[in-house]
Structure 1
Amino acid sequence: MENTKLISLHGGHSGEFCNHARDRLEEIVQAYIKKGFKQVGISEHIPPLEDHFLFPEEIKAGLTARDIRQRFLRYFETLDRLKEKYGSEIRIFRGMETEVWHGYPDQVRDLIQRFRPDYIVGSVHHLKGRCIDFSREIYNGLAEEYGGIEAMYRDYFDCQFEMIQTLKPFVVGHFDLIRIFDPDYKKRILDPSIQEKINRNLNLIKSLGLVMDLNLRPLSRGEDEPYPTRSIMEQIRAAGIPMVPGDDAHSADQAGGNVKRAVDLLESMGFDTDWPLERMKVDG
């Protein structure tokens, strides 16, 4: 496979700047280089606005929202240093991954103005202020509060629609993350009320000229398919929306994982793998 086909625009989370990841960011960059990558996007999570949004492992570590904001500053300083140090070997795109919580639009705009990232990954991890992908217990508890898992899916896609409208992220992250703890997601995704919202979101993504994250994190966990599921990938292809691999790596050994498999899948489905990097943009 040509080295120009190897890319990840969602990932590079490191133990240096993310408590649920491992290894130093430089070790992750070195891993991409060793695997033949000539271009990669690093997209660390934005810091929480307040302590209420801290992850349990951050609370356990005794961190505050202020601590993580300071750490985020060091993230971009480190990224700039690595971009200069390894510039002759790999092209690094400086990114960040959004969250959706009360007050996020102003926060993201402020971060864009301060750090001037090359692009952003627009993701939804929270509903009702709680992280949907942290544990099955939180996920199931939220579904009960919504009065059913279908209602939770619908609210997820509504939050995603609002985020896309507001931030216009170059990459829309793990489109159907809401399925994470749902064993019946393949059938549930086809529910007409959910499909209506999926189609609405895809139409918006298409109209704004954004690209979709082919998120490989589920494959690294031994699951059968990436985000999004095959039926949604077929809708994305039919709509003519580009898809770009994202390994969502959280350690050096995960860097670049399953990207070749992803490129093969995209090409077999008729997607263009001439990545639209010249269209990278940040509104803010």
Structure 2
Amino acid sequence: MRGGGDGGRHRRHEGVEGGDGLRAGGPLLPRPRADGALRRDAGRRSKRAGLPPCGRPQGEAGAASVIRSTLHNHTTLCDGRSTPEAMVRAAVAAGFSDLGFSAHSPAPFDAGSLRSEAAYRETLLALRQKYAGVIRIAIGMEQDFLAPVARRADYDFLIGSVHFLRVDGAHHAVDWDKERFGALLQAVGGPLAAVRAYYASVVDMVRTQRPDVVGHFDLIVKFNAEGRFFEEDAAYRRIALEALDAVIESGCVPELNASGFRWRGRPNPDGFLLRRLREKNRLLTLQADCHDAGDLLRFLPEGAEALRQAGFRSALQWIGGAWQEVGL
């Protein structure tokens, strides 16, 4: 979850049709193997054998000690408030075994995005070397659907997110502020049209870009606390659930983005979506979407509780370059 630039035009989505829901056409693409500095296994591991001990997080009362790593973290290299090294130090203090960085992919229409992929990698590779043997550092990217990275192989993981809709040649931010979100709704043609366009973008993203993680799946509701802009009614839920089914089919890992608690007192995805994921036996990864070293664990206990309430007993964490299933 992030701030962004202004302007936008929703891209036409070939093979995705509207109505009250979405129908994605065409076969799923084969999932590419990532070739980043940390190789990951083809399947997730279900046991915790061999993991380094995890100290109790400091300064975060009630945070679950099973949290050993997070991937969705932003620094001063994009729109974060803490330096990369400050984040590393906070992760070490929290007892993490692994820490991922996921700057916003460079985009000329996004003032909060990364400016240089080369400088980003150089900075993080230096930190990886400096903290070798202390904590493992994964170099990733939060790739906006409209701003893919130049070379996927340069990264250990990609988080795929839809932060903008392109409408008549301009890029409208989904999650910048209430005023710009209202402008987005007007530009697209109303709330239901915006909901369809947003979730069509998510479906298009998982089918064509195949990110490792799907970021804040239902970001479209960020500013919609108490139905401020639209009703999250049966029509909305049908569209969201059909898009979620496409995510499940794609094999991409959905995240529980705990920063939703900050905005509307609940996570992304919302409870009815978490229950669908549970019905389909699709595990999530628990992420803070951190922009400040002091918030590295913020709302993660609430996120873990939301997963438990939806029926989950475990989640996925990125440990040693691979997904590992850990208990909640």
> Is the TM value for this pair above 0.5?
yes
Name the counterpart of 1:111: 151
Distance in 1 (CA, whole Å) between partners of 2:140 and 2:297 is: 17
Runs of 4+ residues deviating >6 angstroms: none
Decide which of 217, 241, 245 is 1:199's aligned counterpart. Answer: 241
Per-residue deviation, 1:181 = 1.5
The root-mean-square deviation of aligned C-alpha atoms, in Å, is: 2.4
Distance in 2 (CA, whole Å) between partners of 1:185 and 1:215 is: 20
User: Aligned residue pairs: how many?
Assistant: 254
Task: Please tell me whether residue 38 in structure 1 is matched to residue 97 in structure 2.
Answer: yes
Name the counterpart of 1:27: 86
Compared with structure 1, are the counterparts of its residues 182 and 269 closer, same or farther at alpha carbon in structure 2 (3 Å cutoff)?
Answer: closer
TM-score with structure 1 length normalisation? 0.80
Decide which of 55, 79, 90 is 2:124's aligned counterpart. Answer: 79
Per-residue deviation, 1:45 = 0.6
Distance in 2 (CA, whole Å) between partners of 1:118 and 1:272 is: 27
Compared with structure 1, are the counterparts of its residues 112 and 190 closer, same or farther at alpha carbon in structure 2 (3 Å cutoff)?
Answer: same
Per-residue deviation, 1:227 = 1.0
Task: Please tell me whether residue 97 in structure 1 is matched to residue 142 in structure 2.
Answer: yes
What letter matches 1:120 in structure 2?
L
Distance in 1 (CA, whole Å) between partners of 2:106 and 2:195 is: 25
Compared with structure 1, are the counterparts of its residues 84 and 173 closer, same or farther at alpha carbon in structure 2 (3 Å cutoff)?
Answer: same
Per-residue deviation, 1:172 = 0.4
Compared with structure 1, are the counterparts of its residues 195 and 274 closer, same or farther at alpha carbon in structure 2 (3 Å cutoff)?
Answer: closer
TM-score with structure 2 length normalisation? 0.70
What letter matches 2:120 in structure 1?
Y
Name the counterpart of 2:133: 88
Structure 2, unpaired ranges of 5+? 1-62
Structure 1, unpaired ranges of 5+? 59-64
Name the counterpart of 1:189: 232
Decide which of 179, 192, 205 is 1:163's aligned counterpart. Answer: 205
Distance in 2 (CA, whole Å) between partners of 1:133 and 1:183 is: 13
Structure holding more strand per residue:
2
Which residues of 2 match residues 179-258 of structure 1 at below 5 A?
A: 179-185=221-227, 188-192=231-235, 194-219=236-261, 221=262, 223-258=264-299
Structure holding more helix per residue:
1
What letter matches 1:127 in structure 2?
L
Distance in 2 (CA, whole Å) between partners of 1:5 and 1:24 is: 22
Name the counterpart of 1:62: none
Please state whether the residue corresponding to 1:122 is helix, strand or coil. Answer: strand
Decide which of 145, 158, 163 is 1:125's aligned counterpart. Answer: 163
Please state whether the residue corresponding to 1:256 is helix, strand or coil. Answer: coil
Per-residue deviation, 1:47 = 0.6
Compared with structure 1, are the counterparts of its residues 276 and 81 closer, same or farther at alpha carbon in structure 2 (3 Å cutoff)?
Answer: same
What letter matches 1:112 in structure 2?
R
What letter matches 1:84 in structure 2?
Q
